[in-house]
Each structure stands twice: as C-alpha cells, then as structure tokens.
Structure 1
Amino acid sequence: MPDMQATGSPHSYKTPQQSHPARRTVAQAILELLGLWGVRRIYGVVGDAVFGLIDALAKQNAISFITVKHESVAAMMASAEAKLTGRLAVCLSHMGPGLTNLVTGLGDAFLDKAPVLAITGQAPLNKLGTPYKQSINQQQLVQAVSSYSQSVVHPDAVMESMSHAMYTSIVQRTVSHLSIPSDVFTMLTTAQPYDPPHMPAPLSDPAEMRRVSNLLQSSRQPILLVGNGARSAREPIRRLAETWGCGTVNSYGTVGIVPESHPSMLNGLGEGGNPLLPKLLQKADVVLAIETKWPDEVVPKPFFLVQLAKRPTDSVMLSPSAIWVAGDANIAVPQWIDGLSGYKPNAEWVRQVQECKQAWATQNDKERNRTAVPLYPASVIRVLESHIADDALIALDEGDSTIWFLRNFRANRQNVLLSERWRAMGFGLPAALAAKCCSPDKQVVCITGDGGLGMVMSDLLTASRYGLLITVIVFNNGRLQMEHDKMLMKHLRPEGTEITNPDFVGIAEACGWHGYLAENEDQLEQALIQSRNSDKPVLLNVITAAVAHPDFGSH
C-alpha cells in the first residue's frame, strides 16, 4: 500500500501494474475496487438504470446487496454504518425519483460528516442531453448534500473517478456521488483499481500541546465536553476527568463515553440535557471540547475553549478565546494527563460539580419514577434501561422520544446512533438495521415515535428478510408531540400534529416480527424480557402519555 499523506490526491499514487490487464465489465471493476477499499455491503433499491451493477452483485459473494423498500432508508442505513464504523459506506439507487428519495439520507450523512458514497444510474449514453424519461442533471440536484459529484461516461474513467470520490468521502468525512449511464455498467474496461489511501494520524504542533497543557494546569473551574467521535478514547478521557477534577458534559446525542455513574458526569447539553448545567457552565474558566464544538445556543463563552479533533472541519469554531488542536484523543489526552502531574483539583469546584450532579439526579428520579397510565415517557426510559446491555447499540429517531431518552437514560457504555444535525424523522429504524448488519452479535434497540416509524414502516420487512433481530420501542401517543408543543410555545394553534396510527402490533406480526402491546409497566417489563431471546425482530407498541417534554415547559 502506498504511503500517501492525507492531504494528497488519489492521482498521486499508483495502480497495480499488469503486463496484460484483464478485461471485465465496469460493474465488476467497481465491485473489485469497493472490496479493495473495505466495503462489505451496499444498501439500495433495484432500478433499470443500475441493472448492470445489480447483475454483477448477484454473481459474487464478497459484497452483499441489502435491498430495502425505499431509497431514503438505503441512504440513512449507509449514513448510520459510516457513523458507527468510521469507514466508507455505500448506497445505490435508480435515476430520477430513486435519486431524489436518496437525497434525504444523504443530507444526514453530509451534515453529520459520515463518509458515504452514493452511486446512481443515469440515462444511457445515446440519451444524455435528450428529454429521456427520469433524466435530470444529477450533479445539480445533489450539490447541496455532497462534496464531490461527477458523471462518468467512459468505461476507462470509472476507476479514477470512483477512487477520487471515495478518497474525498474518507478524508473529508463527507458524501460523494457518481452518476453512471446504464449502459456503461456492462461495457468492458482494462482500468485497474487504485489502492486505498494510507491515513496517518494527525500530529499536533508540540508548541500548541504545551500551550494547552499549561492552560489545563492553570484552570481552577474546568469542564470537559465530549462528543461521539471521542468514543475510542473512553479510558483516557475518564482518567483525565479524575485527574483534572472537572465536570464532564456530553454534547448532543452523546452517551456512554463516561458512564452516568462517574462522579464527574453531568449529563448533556441542549435539548434533552441537564437543565441545571447552564448555571454551572457560566462559572467555568476552561472548557476542553473533544471531538465536538461548543453549542453557541446553550450559554455564552466567558471561558477559554480548547477544541481537540482529528480533522479541523469536525469541530473548529472561531473565537478569540478558542484554541484548536489537531490530533487523536488517544494520543493527545494521555500527554495532557502527564502534563497535569502534581495538579491539585479545586475542592470547591469539585463540590459545585457534585452539587449539580446530585440536584439533577434528584430531579431526574422524580421524573423517572412517575407512575401513570398511559405511561409517562421518563418511566418508559427507566424500565427500558434495565433491559439494555452495557454494550448495546441504540438507534434514536428524531422527535420527543429522543430527547426523553437523552434526558433520562443513565448510560454505561452504550453507543447511540442519531441524526444529530439533519434531524431526520424516520432515522431510527434504518440506523438500527444498519447497526445489526455491522454488529450482528450485539443487542440493537431502536427508540422511535409513532410519527417517525410511520415514515419508514415498510422496512420492517427488511429486518425479516435478512434476519436482523432488533428491538423497536414505539412511543405511541397519537401525536407529533414536539411539533405540537413548539407551536404552543410560540403561541400558535397546533394543526396537523394529531396523527392516525395503524395497529403497530398487527403490522409488525404481518411483517414477520413478534409484536407486543404495553399499556403499563408490567406489560412493558414482560415484553422486554421476551425480546432478549426472541427468534424474530420485536416491536413494542408502548402507549405513552401525550405530555410536554420539560424542555418545552408548561403552556
């Protein structure tokens, strides 16, 4: 494998040399290249513009084709896989409406910086530029949700274009897109694949590292802010929290990097977070943000802000008091711990952190222990918590169910997948399906609302088709609760927020699942127990109270 710097280009390294290059179809060459770069599955929907690639997929076993019911699900599954693994994920669609459906999931990958390659069919070569059915300017369509998009019209250009697209996705952690005319897939080529790039870990400037170390040493009221990208550095982050005597805070959608039981852990910021945090954070003098940036909408920044990330585009925030450091948390954080040798945490600050933690735990317990029929959402989270494995993968949908989870779930080492910036309703089920594809031996739980599940419900069949034994928890209150409450907050009259739901249990069972109705805690407990050893995917239709989330107050 060539030793190429991350700032290089796929043009700068060599393809394998053969004295008599083999001729094979473009589709076969594409699969060869994807396999070389570590791709093991493609999510998509069949259409005649991609028949050539589908045929090649059917004739090999190295790369699986996961066919879904809707292209938006394919793209969201690719986005979820890329978020979970950090590796390139691929989705495929027909031209025209296939691509427009794909765009919903590509937006999620683009805003959440997940490396995804989208391949779409296009009109045959002799119809390009004509009013051919379903033909549009695909590059123009996807430019808002991609960093690279090209149309490939010659069989010998596919290897180079594919390599450049994948390289862009991996290095920039973004979406790339290729449109390929339908007849090009079956043409012959001798073009050889490019090797995948070597990605050395970024090296921080020693002077900046010392500057940060001195700043951490001088801090008397420190805060540690962690994002999901810091998951691989869980242990050094925990040791830093203990050495530094800081309060530890999760960014939106982050759980389980530092367990909820840890003395420094104060829950999260933003919607679904600890409402007592803003007052404490206004007293901080130094905030170290690892693989995340400070959310400006939460509180002002009277403190020094240090941002550590592998890539500048992931977290950089311009501020007169901000220091940005490029580096791997597994390398940088231990160095800073060494730099804190002899540091004595500020006992008064530790006391204030503990007071904040205890006050929030007391308030949280009151919410979690409320008994009611229909079930109070926080109590559903409490019951669910004892049935989720420490290393489970939890897929969250967008909506009220997510912010109840983030507020009330006391995490250990679980990993969460969610649509962090795109905030796409319907993300939960596709993310859970992708998580189970990637980690078949782990427990995978989807937490969704009735509105979110309704958008992607046909892909319950995808779980049955591929034997993906996931558990879906549906918060069912017959309402788009978040939209309802936000309209009331703005003194508007809610309209269109009351929804009509099917019999979710009946739908699930018709799709080959086990379905359970839970109207009280005992029924919920029993259903969760049965779900752990089920021979089929499981859906729990949990009837929940139509109550406002505490973040949205009383009206």
Structure 2
Amino acid sequence: MARTVARVIVDALSELGVRQVFGVVGDALNPLTDAIRTTEDLEWVGCRHEEAAAFAASAQSQLSGTLGVCMGTVGPGSVHLLNGLYDAAKSHTPVLAIAGQVPLPELGTDYFQEVDNDALFSDVAVFRATITSPDQLPQMLETAVRHALGRKGVAVLTVPGDLGERELDTDRPARFSLNAPLSRPEESAVRRAAEVLDGSERVTLLVGRGARGAREDVLTLADRLAAPMVLTLKAKEGFEGDTNPFQVGQTGLIGNPAAASALNDADTLLLLGTDFPYRDWYPEGKTVIQVDTEAAHIGRRVPVDIGLVGDTGVTVRDLLTHLAAPPADTDGARDRSHLDKARERFQQWSESQARLADPAHDKRLIGRIRSSLDNRTHDIRPEALAAVVDRLADDDTVFTSDTGMATVWLSRFVEMRGQRQLIGSYNLGSMANAMPQALGAQCLDRERQVVAFCGDGGLSMLLGDLMTLKTHNLPVKLVVFDNRRLGMVKLEQEQAGLPEFGTVLDNPDFAAVATAMGIPGIRVTDPAELEKAVRQAFDTPGPVLLDVLTNPDEIAVPAKPTVEQGWGYAMAKVKEIVRSQGDDSTL
C-alpha cells in the first residue's frame, strides 16, 4: 500500500521511539500533524511558541539521550525554532526539526512567508535539506536522523507544502541502524599522562558532563590520586552528594573558594570530559592533562601538556592500569593533605551558605545588620527559597533553571543527590528556557517530579506556554524567583562600577496570572510562610506556579572576588543612591 511523505516520516519517528512532537500547527505541516493524529503511540504537543517547542525537544533529548523532535511551519514558524535549536546544538544533543516550506512551484519567487530554510539553519544544523521529490524518502530522512544522532546535533528537514500528501513509489521502511563508537587514546599518550600524575604531589580534577557515564571509574581515579574534584555545573548531576568524598563544588562566577583554591594549589590539573569555557578561572603555570572525545576541544580553553582523545570511561580505566601501584610497605595511600585541605574548606563554605539560607537568618543580630543594608523591605532571601526546594523535592526530581541568578541559587543550594537530573541553557545561556524545558521533561514521565527554577524575566518571555502546561495537565512545579529585576545584568553593571539601569521589571502578580490561566498560583511575601508554600505547591496535583518575592539586592559572591569587583560595586551603589535622591522616579 502506497504511503505519503507525511506518513513515512511519522511512521519512522514512531519506530525510533519518539513519543512526543512539539510545535505549532499550520499549512505545510497539516499533512504531518494529521498523520500524527492517527498514530497511536505518537503525541502532538501543541505549543504557543515554536521556541518553546524547540526547547522542549532539546530537553527530552538531553534527558533521554535519544532524538528530540519539533516542528515549525512556513517562514516565521521555522524562524521561531532557531533559539531553542541553537540551545540543542550548543548542548550537543540530537534534535530533528521538521520545517514547513512554500509549495515547490513557488520556491524562489518571494512568495508569502517564504524563507530560505537551508540558509536560515546553515549555522545551527549538522544537516539540512529540502525535500523536492517523494523519491528522496526514506533515504533523506535516514540521513538526517543519522547526522543528528551520530554527530549529536541538530538536523533540519524542510517539507514544502505540496509534498506532504504525495505518495511514494516504494514501501521500504526507514532504517536507522547506528552504533555509538567508543574511542580510546594512544597508549603512549596514556603512559606519559600516568607518569606525570605519578610524579605530581597535588592533582586536582576538573570534571564535566562528559565524565558522567564513568562515575565509578572517576571516583576510583580520584581516590588513587588523592585528588579533590572540582565540578562544572553540568557535572553536578552524577558527581554531587555524600557518596562522593572528593567533590568540592564548582568554580567560576557561581563557584566557591574551596574549588578555586583546589585548582590554584595543584601542580597538575586533570580535565575529564569538560569544555569549561571561562579562561580567567583556569590557574596559570600548571601542568594540564585533558581527556575529551573531541580532538578540537583539546587545549582550546587552557594550554594543555598532554591531550588524550577518547571516551572518558575508557581513558580513565587505561590510566588506572598505568599508574604506579602504591608501595607494599606503606598504607597504600598517597599524601592526602591537598584533598583534605580542599574538602575542609568546602565544608566550611557549605556551612556558611547554610546559615544564609536559614529563613530566620535576618532575625538574628548579624542578619539584622545585613538586612538593614541590603534587604530593608525584608523580602525573602533567594538562598532560603532554593534550600527549601532542595530539602522538600524528591530524590529523582528533574530540575531546570533559567539563565541568570536562578541558576546561581540552584548551583549553590540544590544538591543533585539520588537520581536527580539537571538541565538548563548552560552553553548558549539563553533566557526563557526553564519552563519549556520542564514541559519537555514532564512529557517523558508524567509521574516524575519536575521543578523549574524560573527567573521573572525569563518566565515572562514565553509566558504563553503556561497554557501548554495547563492544556496537557503537565504537573510541572514552577518556582519563580521574583526579584523584579534582570538580576544577573544588575550584578554585572554594579561590579563594573555602573549604576543599575534598564533592569527593573514591572511584573504582574504571576500567581494571579497563573490562576487566571487555570493553573493554581501561590504568592509568597513572608519568609515565615516559605516552607508551607513550597510544601503546598509540591502536594498540589497538576501544574503549580509558586511566585516568591525575593530580595533584588542579593549578592552572589564569586569564588575569587577581586578588589576591582568590590570597588566597582561600592561605586555603583554610591551612584545609585545619588541618582535616586535626585530623581524620585528611580526609587
């Protein structure tokens, strides 16, 4: 029986195990969405904005390790996919985007809504092509999917409006056999790396997402080297918690002094599965060994003495076989003073952060003094909100976070213990990602708890897709850090000595907005009501929006604060005070 182009594509997606397709319906997509309508195990999730659809597909891909799928129709519909697809590309996760196009006879005529999709997606996609004949299927679809899965990126397949209903001359089904290869570095390079590590007194590991599949091997290596383990944000999942006695948190602007000192005090740095991009946070004058599956990543952030191109797990196991065994007449351990110092400092920092996160902090003497300077209206501390969520959330919760201060508070106060997972726009750094990524995550498993750490600026960008949560009854818990600011931008301006400008947000009552949309909304203004409100949100079936008014002047001190940053912040505050005294409209 002959099948249409749309039917071939949809049947292939179903065979691949895709369970949801995200997008906005319309014209060129109509044959495809109709085929989805009649496919039992494939669900169409209609979003209010195609950007949200692309973020949701990217989230599913990152969490499942399989293909995420989104669709955008002709012209503007496809253009709207771009930001979410860039996030997928920067996250190195496979996503297939089906883009609509004007009818074939109208291509190149500047037809209504016509956009050159192959040019539009040229920078973001590892594969892009426009179907011009049914005879190109299923091969072109197979090629697109293999590129997405094999190169861990975005593939865009454009379907003109007059092709979806045309029939193929073949009944051959699509075939997608693809095995992920495991690569290993040259043995001579592994031997050199082992010799360097054996001769180093103080080794520190910088561990990234690429090492998550090799957790036990990495822990064994850290123990053998008595090495503290600094984590990137994306390595929190898998390496954080009491079961890892080597981790000392993160470095960078969201990091802590223990991680910074662990890097600075080392004589050798071993980078495992990370492309941590912030060059200013790498210490100078160290011997650096880097393990990465991509040769192009070796040495592009920091000068590297030995590069090992290969899978992290395979490479670490090879290193362990080449490291010298401890002498039999010793207790079998290296000097652990470097590790112990880093861990002790990390524990002290963690305890100080816990005091800040106590909702009663501002009632104590030091808290009262502090709040008289930076929290005169007695708003809720964002640290307290993040800590309560961490304490009450399930141990298999999926967390998403908006770029900015919401990510800072999550990184410091939410522990990725148990089977918790974490995603965000941590490479692209887009706003407005947390809610649509949570949407995609919840579609994977409607029984699993999903919590989105939303900035008020990010949430308001794609506010319409709250209705997608409502329509599909997705029980996402949206935790809004409502500081009425673009908080990270505010902090950037003040650290540079500039007065705050353009960051103030005239927010609605987000809880009331959610309620008007049919989603339970809870607004919290009193620190004493915080824990009760979080419990209520988590215990309420279906989606819930928790709108928490947090302190807009909260400061996240970086791991290595500089004199210049402190002086800039002080000067900015002086300028803000002078400006506010001279212009009541800025108060």
Structure-1-length-normalised TM-score: 0.90
Give the partner amino acid of 1:196.
S
Q: Deviations over 1:186-245 (max 9, x none)?
A: 110134313332223224433333333333333321112222233333333333323321
* Aligned partner of 1:155 among 134, 137, 154: 134
Paired residues of 1:381 and 1:408 also in contact (CA < 8 A): yes
Q: Distance in 1 between matches of 2:410 and 2:389?
A: 10
Query: CA offset at residue 51 of structure 1?
Result: 0.8
The DSSP-based 3-state class of the residue aligned with 1:282 is helix
Q: Determine the C-alpha separation between the residues in 2 that align with 1:181 and 1:354.
A: 59
Question: Residues 307-456 of structure 1 correspond to what in structure 2 (within 5 A)?
Answer: 307-312=290-295, 317=300, 321-340=304-323, 341-342=325-326, 344-369=333-358, 370-371=361-362, 373-413=378-418, 414-456=420-462
Secondary structure at 1:39 match in 2: coil
1:169-318 matched pairs, under 5 angstroms? 169-191=148-170, 192=172, 193-261=174-242, 262-294=244-276, 295-312=278-295, 317=300
Which residue identity does 1:485 align to in structure 2? L
Given the superposition, is the C-alpha separation of residues 378 and 290 from structure 1 closer, same or farther in structure 2, using an over 3 Å criterion? same
Tell me, what secondary structure is at the counterpart of 2:164? helix
The CA distance in 1 between the partners of 2:426 and 2:246, in whole Å, is 24
Rounded Cα–Cα distance in structure 2 between residues aligned with 1:322 and 1:184: 54
> What is the alpha-carbon distance in structure 2 between the residues aligned to residue 64 and residue 251 of structure 1?
35
Of stretches 505-514 and 359-368 in structure 1, the one that deviates more from structure 2 is 359-368
CA contact (8 A) 1:204 1:326 kept: yes
Q: 1:281 is paired with a residue of what secondary structure?
A: helix
Equivalent position SS for 1:468: coil
Q: Distance in 2 between matches of 1:104 and 1:30?
A: 24
Partner in structure 2 of residue 6 of structure 1: none
Question: Are 2:553 and 1:550 equivalent residues in the alignment?
Answer: no
Distance in 1, Cα, partners of 2:222 & 2:209? 17
How many Å apart are 1:156 and its aligned residue? 1.2
Q: 1:16 corresponds to which residue?
A: none
- The aligned counterpart of 1:9 is none
Equivalent position to 2:62, from 58, 61, 83: 83
Q: How does 1:75-154 map to 2 (within 5 A)?
A: 75-154=54-133
Whether the 8 Å contact between 2:50 and 2:81 is mirrored in structure 1 is yes
Shift of 1:475: 0.5
C-alpha distance in 2 between matches for 1:163 and 1:316: 34
TM-score (norm 2): 0.86
List per-residue Cα deviations over 1:18-52 (Å, max 9, x = no partner).
xxxx4200011111222333322211110112111
Residue identity matched to 2:144: A
Distance 1:316 1:178, change over 3 A: farther
Give the superposed CA RMSD. Answer: 2.2
Change in CA separation of 1:492 and 1:353 when aligned onto 2, cut-off 3 Å? closer
Structure 2, gaps ≥5 residues long: 327-331, 363-370, 372-377, 559-564, 571-587
Partner Cα separation in structure 1 for residue 527 and residue 212 of structure 2: 33
Gapped runs of 5+ residues in structure 1? 1-21
Deviation, 1:368, is 2.3
Q: Would the aligned equivalents of 1:400 and 1:481 in 2 still touch at CA under 8 Å?
A: yes
Give aligned pairs, total: 534
Instruction: Say whether the 8 Å CA contact 1:84–1:435 is kept in structure 2.
Output: yes
The CA deviation string for residues 157-176 of structure 1, in whole angstroms up to 9 with x for no partner, is 13222221211111221111
In structure 2, do the counterparts of structure 1 residues 37 and 248 end up closer, same or farther at CA, with 3 Å as the change threshold? same
Match of 1:23 in 2: 2
- Distance between the aligned counterparts of 1:142 and 1:222, measured in 2? 43
Amino acid at match of 2:155: S
In structure 2, what is the equivalent of residue 19 of structure 1?
A: none
CA 1:180–1:114: 2 relative to 1, 3 Å: same
Q: 1:146 to 1:380 in 2, by over 3 A?
A: same
Q: List per-residue Cα deviations over 1:469-503 (Å, max 9, x = no partner).
A: 11111001111111122122333343321111122
Letter paired with 1:449: G
Match for 1:509 among 512, 515, 519? 515
Q: Displacement of 1:247 after TM fit?
A: 0.8
Q: 2:39 and 2:297 mapped to 1: Cα distance?
A: 37
